[in-house]
Amino acid sequence: MKSKSLKKVLATALALSLVMAPVMGVNASTDNNAPSEGSSTSVSAEVAATIPETSTISVGGKYMTSTVKGAYMSKTIPGTVVATDKATLAAGYGLAPGEQPYVRVYDISEAKSPAAMTSINAAAGAVGGTVVATVNVELGKLAGGKFSLLEQGGAPITMAFGIPKNAVKPGYAYAMICVRPGGVIEVLPDLDADPNTVTFSTTGGLGAYAMIMYPVA
């Protein structure tokens, strides 16, 4: 299914499902190792020592390392990277001297984020898709050791997620669904031809992201 067709099907199918089950917002994970939604606090030194600051994935036989440092905590997705150049991202969001882009990525589940998962499951079902993995992504900045979210709907930011090996199957295509606070749903099509990654364009702020796979018509 082409990306335009995917968007059209989702727009039609979700119109009814969202009326029946409106989203109240994105719930942050309650995992003790995960930061709270929009939090400016930091985790303990012991936990921080175990969190990778960078992430790498293989794209077309070559390795891509995230341009932005952060807390890469997902255990269900094999690599999540920000591909947009760090300076370009900073300029696009008007970061001041002393401020730096920073990202936090951590797994979520039905129990921890029920509202977001309701929309994700509805969106996946609308295209006959299967949810592969779900994470919260907080695209923000650090200033004086304090974390805050970047503007939602700002300049485009390219990200790439590795597809779990057990989900790489012939006859399937992949995409990302993003649920924003307030129930805004975005369908983010795969922008590359690499069978092992999903590359997509998003913007700053908090979102619950689901990788989905669906049969190609």
* pLDDT surpassing 50 at residue 23: no
> In which band, very low, low, confident or very high, does the pLDDT at 4 lie, cut at 50, 70 and 90?
low
Distance (Å, whole) CA 127 – CA 144: 44
> In which band, very low, low, confident or very high, does the pLDDT at 186 lie, cut at 50, 70 and 90?
confident
Distance (Å, whole) CA 126 – CA 73: 29
pLDDT reported for residue 46: 54
- pLDDT tens digits, residue range 33-87? 444 433 333 455 555 667 899 999 998 888 999 999 999 999 999 999 999 999 9
**3-state DSSP call for residue 202?**
strand
Length reported for the chain? 217
Q: Which of 202, 180, 203 is CA-nearest to residue 190?
A: 202
> In which band, very low, low, confident or very high, does the pLDDT at 191 lie, cut at 50, 70 and 90?
very high
DSSP letters, 76-112, are: SSS-EEE-S-HHHHHHHTTPPTTEEEEEEEEE--TTT
Q: In this structure, what is the dihedral angle of CA atoms 204, 26, 35, 68, given to the nearest 10 degrees?
A: -20
Share of the chain above pLDDT 90, in %: 59
pLDDT reported for residue 96: 96
> In which band, very low, low, confident or very high, does the pLDDT at 6 lie, cut at 50, 70 and 90?
low
Distance (Å, whole) CA 179 – CA 116: 6
Number of structural domains found in the chain: 1
Query: What average pLDDT does this structure show over 17-42?
Result: 38
Query: What average pLDDT does this structure show over 185-200?
Result: 92
- pLDDT tens digits, residue range 99-111? 999 999 999 988 8
Share of the chain above pLDDT 70, in %: 77
Which residue range is the domain that position 169 belongs to? 3-215
pLDDT reported for residue 51: 87
DSSP letters, 18-61, are: HHHS----PPPP--TTSPPTT------HHHHTTS-S--EEEETT
Phi, psi (deg, nearest 5) at residue 213: -120, 140
The answer to whether 157 and 145 have CB atoms below 8 angstroms apart is no
Question: Which is more confidently placed, 197 or 128?
Answer: 197
pTM for the whole thing?
Answer: 0.81
**3-state DSSP call for residue 116?**
helix
CA distances from 121 to 169, 181, 209 (A): 20, 16, 12
pLDDT reported for residue 155: 97
Distance (Å, whole) CA 22 – CA 16: 10
